[in-house]
Each structure stands twice: as C-alpha cells, then as structure tokens.
C-alpha cells in the first residue's frame, strides 16, 4: 500500500485550482496567483513540486507573456529542454499549440474562471 504524498495547505489550494482548468484550455501563473491572492512565483513553486501530475494538470499553466514556461522544475532549455518538450507534447495532445519560439498561438484558449470556493481535497 503506497502512502499519499504530503502537500502543504497552499499546494492543496493551488492543485484544487488546476483541477478546474478544462482540457484544451490553459491559464497563467499570474491568473492563478490573482485567484489565490498570492504571487506567480509561489504558484510556480507549488507546480514544481506537484506529486500528482499529470492527473492534476500543472502543464496547463504558462507564463503571462504567452511563453510556454517551465515544467517539472525546468525552465526553457535547462538543463536539456526535455521537460519543456514534454509539456509542449501534453498541451499539443489537448489542442493547445505554441510557435517555434515557445509562445502560445491562440490566446482564446486562455482560461481564468476559477471558483475559489469550490475546493477539491487532494493528497489526503
């Protein structure tokens, strides 16, 4: 029997928001931080440590500039870019596309309709 990963209350709140993002849509670190009255960096920290991926879809969060951003703790080509390519592939399978420079092609897929009252419990 495996033990459920322990997460902080803050991480739980972040992961609950991620579960609200529909497949084929994405959000930004900034949009999530506004919903939680937090900071984009704190959101990134919680996503970096998401033990429930891809079921809790941290790949659906990008930079507010439209840049694909980091994934699994790696930003862009650090160290190999392999994780960012994984993120790009996951999003491509959902119909979310980026140009050759890593920028979102269709901004209509951006989503920020978070219900902060509707919290699913994760990891407990």
**Residues with active-site annotation:** 58
What is the per-residue pLDDT for 81? 47
What is the per-residue pLDDT for 85? 80
Q: If you compute the radius of gyration of the chain from its CA atoms, what whole number of angstroms results?
A: 14
Distance CA 78, CA 70 (A): 9
| Residue numbers in the chain where pLDDT is lower than 70 | 1-2, 70-83, 118-124
The DSSP-derived string for 41-108 is HHHHHHHHT-TTTTTS-GGGEE-TTSB---BTTB-TTSSSSHHHHHHHHHHHHTT--B-TTSBBS-GG
112 backbone dihedrals φ, ψ, rounded to 5°? -145, 30
What is the per-residue pLDDT for 72? 59
């Amino acid at each position: 029997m495996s033990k459920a990963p322990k997460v902080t209350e803050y991480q739980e709140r972040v992961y609950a928001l991620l579960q609200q993002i529909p497949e084929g849509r994405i959000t930004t670190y900034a949009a999530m931080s506004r919903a939680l009255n937090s900071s984009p960096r704190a959101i990134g920290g919680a996503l970096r440590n998401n033990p429930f991926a891809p079921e809790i879809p941290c790949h659906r969060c990008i930079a507010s500039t439209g840049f694909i951003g980091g994934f699994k703790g790696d930003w862009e080509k650090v160290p190999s870019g392999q994780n960012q390519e994984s993120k790009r592939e996951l999003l491509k399978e959902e119909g979310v596309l980026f140009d050759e420079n890593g920028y979102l092609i269709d901004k209509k897929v951006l989503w920020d309709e978070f219900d902060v009252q509707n919290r699913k419990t994760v990891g407990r």
